[in-house]
Amino acid sequence: MTAEESSRVWQRMRTLVLERHDTRRDVAAALGMSFIKVKALRQVAREPSTMRELTERLTIDGPYTTLVVDDLERRGLVERTVHPGDRRRRIVTATAAGREAAEVADRILNAPPAAFAGLDDAELGELDRLMAKLAEPGKAP
């Protein structure tokens, strides 16, 4: 495959995910918050994080992370506790309500595009195999 063909395939993938099936607005509307807050909530629902870890994972700056977590805390979706090994650090953990909201977000974000219904089992299986190959570090060509 030429570089031009690879670029065309990548553009089609990006268009499908980021334009034709961009569910970020749907999630934000369903939960009544910005997508960065949804992203932060999903992160801490998967794994409690220090503020610094959350900042790095979200690729935002520290003061903005504080604003995001402050809002999630006001909503009762996360709580901050003192780190057991360093009282200067805080660990952000999802509350039960936060885990439920993260599950709603996951359901919306993980729903496949309608176009997938037009694929037969063999095509869907091949797409799954190819995506798994591309997603594995060091495995993609």
Report residue 93: phi and psi, to 5°: -130, 140
Strand ranges inside the chain, DSSP E: 49-50, 78-83, 86-94
DSSP 33: S
Annotation: CATH topology of 23-110: Arc Repressor Mutant, subunit A (1.10.10)
pLDDT of 139 > 60? The answer is no
Closest CA to 44 of 101, 108, 127: 101
Q: Give this prediction's pTM.
A: 0.82
Q: What mean pLDDT, rounded, does the chain reach?
A: 91
pLDDT digits (tens, 9 = 90+) for 117-129: 889 999 999 999 9
Q: Where are the domains of the chain?
A: 23-110
Sheet order of strands, 78-83 included: 49-50, 86-94, 78-83
